[in-house]
Amino acid sequence: QKEVEQNSGPLSVPEGAIASLNCTYSDRGSQSFFWYRQYSGKSPELIMFIYSNGDKEDGRFTAQLNKASQYVSLLIRDSQPSDSATYLCAVMDSSYKLIFGSGTRLLVRP
């Protein structure tokens, strides 16, 4: 069974801090990795994707990928209360199925 694992949280950080969200995956053949944000009662919204090892930065968000360790992370700098949501890690596996982790709930305290 191909899996994507995330800590369910909640991860609580103060406003202005860096939030670090982590994800591991089991299928070594996976090529594409995504971070989605989901507010309660809403559909997931794509915020970052990464395909190559290393870091990818987009505004306050940085995605990090390490294929050897089968690990992908998301850093949110200068966290805001509006960043409070569930963050879903998703992996396009070797058979092109998009598999999601269970999500990490982030709480940013004002």
In this structure, the dihedral spanned by the alpha carbons of residues 57, 45, 34 and 1, taken in order and rounded to 10 degrees, is 160
Side chain identity, residue 30: S
Whether 32 and 98 have beta carbons less than 8 Å apart is answered as: no
The sign one gets for the Cα dihedral 26, 7, 21, 48 is positive
Binds another protein by CB under 8 A, chosen from 63, 99, 106, 108: 99
39 near another protein, judged by CB under 8 A? no
43 near another protein, judged by CB under 8 A? yes
Closest CA to 11 of 72, 81, 84: 84
98 near another protein, judged by CB under 8 A? yes
Binds another protein by CB under 8 A, chosen from 21, 44, 62, 84: 44
**3 vs 15 by CB, closer to another protein:** 3
66 near another protein, judged by CB under 8 A? no
Positions in the binding site for another protein (CB under 8 A): 31-32, 34, 36, 41-46, 49, 51, 88, 90, 92, 95-103
